[in-house]
Amino acid sequence: MSRYRGPRLKICRRLGNLPGLTQKNSRKQTPAGEHGQQSRKPSEYSLRLEEKQKLRFNYGLSEKQLLRYIKLAKNVQGSTGLVLLQILEMRLDNIIFRLSMAPTIPSARQLVNHGHILVNNKRVSICSYQCKPGDTIFVKDKTSSKLLVKKYISFPGLSSIPNHLEFDKDQLLGKVNGIIDREWIVLELNELLVVEYYSRK
C-alpha cells in the first residue's frame, strides 16, 4: 500500500487530531462516510486497526514501512510500543517537523527531498534517515532555502519543541540531544494496540 495522498480532513474526521498530517480542522463533528453518523460499538479488531491507522497517517508511512519498524522495535530491549514511537520520532522528516522548521510532516518531507536540509554538514535527501543523539541539522546555505524555512517558522505546526531537541531560530540550526520521552509525543495513541494488531497477523 503506497503513501496516502488523498483528502486529509476526511482522515482527521475519522481518526481524530493528527498534528503531523495537517494543521486544518474540520467544522464537521461526525466521522466521514455515509455510515459516519451511525453509532455502533466498535469491535476489538477495529479499535486496533484505528490506532494503527493513526500511526500510519500521522507519520506518513506505507504499510510496508510500518511493518518493518514493528519488526525492528521487537528486536530492541524494552517496551515494543514505546521503542516503535521513539524510532518514528527520530526520523529526519519528523525531527524537522518537531523543530518547527515545517508546519506538517509532508511539508518536512518535501524540504528533505528537495535538498534544503543538511545533517552534520552533509546533504541528506532521505526522509526516513534515522537521526541519532548528537546530530546537528542545518538549513542549506542558500537564500531560497532559508526564506522557505523562515516562512514555515512563522506558522509552526506545534507550539513547543520537545526536551530532546534544541533549535536556534537565528542560525536555523537544530540539535538532537537524546531520545524523546513518552510524554512529549503529541499524538493521542495507545501504542500497545498497534503492537497487538501486528502480533495477531
Q: Which domains does the chain have, with CATH numbers?
A: 8-86+187-199 (1.10.1050.10), 91-178 (3.10.290.10)
List, for residues 8-41, the tens digit of each pLDDT value.
777 777 777 777 777 666 666 666 666 555 566 7
C-alpha cell recorded at residue 98: 518537531
Residue 163: alpha-carbon gap to chain centroid? 17
C-alpha cell recorded at residue 15: 481518526
In angstroms, the CA 167 to CA 106 distance is 20
In angstroms, the CA 157 to CA 139 distance is 18
List, for residues 76-96, the tens digit of each pLDDT value.
888 899 999 999 999 999 999
With a threshold of 0.75, does the pTM exceed it? yes
List, for residues 62-75, the tens digit of each pLDDT value.
889 999 999 999 99
In angstroms, the CA 177 to CA 109 distance is 22
The pLDDT-based confidence of 1 (bands split at 50, 70, 90) is: very low
List, for residues 91-125, the tens digit of each pLDDT value.
999 999 999 888 888 889 999 999 899 999 999 99
